[in-house]
A = this chain, B = another copy of it.
Amino acid sequence: MVNVVVVYHSGYGHTKNQAEAVFEGVSSDADVRASCIAINHEGNISDSDWQALDNANAIIFGSPTYMGMASWQFKKFADDTSKRWFSLAWKDKIAAGFTNSASMNGDKHSTLHYMITLAMQHGMLWTGTAMMPSNQKASVRDDINYLGSFAGLMAQSPADAGTDESPTKGDIDTAKLFGQRISEVTKQWCS
């Protein structure tokens, strides 16, 4: 059994929906023990959450993109990982990331590249979507990887969409496949 932990912040619930879909994808693998940690509105997680992260074989970071970057609550969490960094305690864990925002692009790439930067400081191995984009004339919004992202997982939730309707089916299905991907990579790495 390998441990995969999803740790995310969600401001209004859309990123929580995305996180749960990633978690479902991770969990669909019988050889993986999955858990999910929500960073609270003050940017904190509990001591047992930190312990779960320390014990993880893979960590999947998640955050909305606000003003062109991960939320301050996610950044507070990232700053708090400095204690692990000093001893490279997270070295050789698998890392991946996801983000949601209201626009098609909306600088989501910026958030994902920050998560990579964070993972690289920790000496982790980064894995992206490994998915082809859906970018033909006949492509539709609910296709897998319609947003065309590679460095990590993206979802888009319109600014006026409720959490009961967004992210849409295609982005949620993409999130599940992404979770499965991370499980597979983690198992190969730990075998």
In the complex, the chain B residue whose C-beta lies closest to that of A181 is B123
In the complex, the chain B residue whose C-beta lies closest to that of A132 is B88
> A48 an interface residue at 8 Å Cβ cutoff?
no
> What does DSSP make chain A's interface, helix, strand, loop or mixed?
loop
Contact A105 B107 (CB under 8 A): no
Residues of B within 8 A of A91 (CB): 130
Contact B79 A72 (CB under 8 A): yes
In the complex, the chain B residue whose C-beta lies closest to that of A85 is B67
Residues of B within 8 A of A109 (CB): 105, 107, 109-110
Contact B133 A102 (CB under 8 A): yes
Known: A105-B108, A123-B130. A75 touches B68 (CB 8 A): no
Give the complex CA separation of A109 and B114 in angstroms.
Answer: 11
Q: What's the number of copies of this chain in the assembled complex?
A: 4
Known: A43-B72, A79-B72. A151 touches B117 (CB 8 A): yes
In the complex, the chain B residue whose C-beta lies closest to that of A76 is B72
What would be 17 A-B contacts, judged by CB atoms less than 8 Å apart?
A67-B78, A67-B118, A68-B121, A69-B69, A71-B75, A75-B75, A88-B132, A104-B104, A104-B148, A105-B148, A105-B154, A110-B117, A116-B116, A120-B129, A120-B152, A126-B127, A136-B159
Interface residues of A (CB under 8 A from B): 43, 66-73, 75-76, 78-79, 81-82, 85, 88, 91-92, 101-110, 113-114, 116-118, 120-121, 123, 125-133, 135-137, 139, 146-152, 154, 156, 158-161, 185, 188-189, 191
Given A72-B75, A110-B113, 17 more contacts at CB 8 Å?
A66-B79, A66-B82, A67-B82, A68-B120, A68-B121, A69-B75, A71-B79, A107-B121, A110-B117, A113-B116, A116-B116, A121-B150, A123-B129, A125-B126, A135-B158, A136-B160, A188-B189
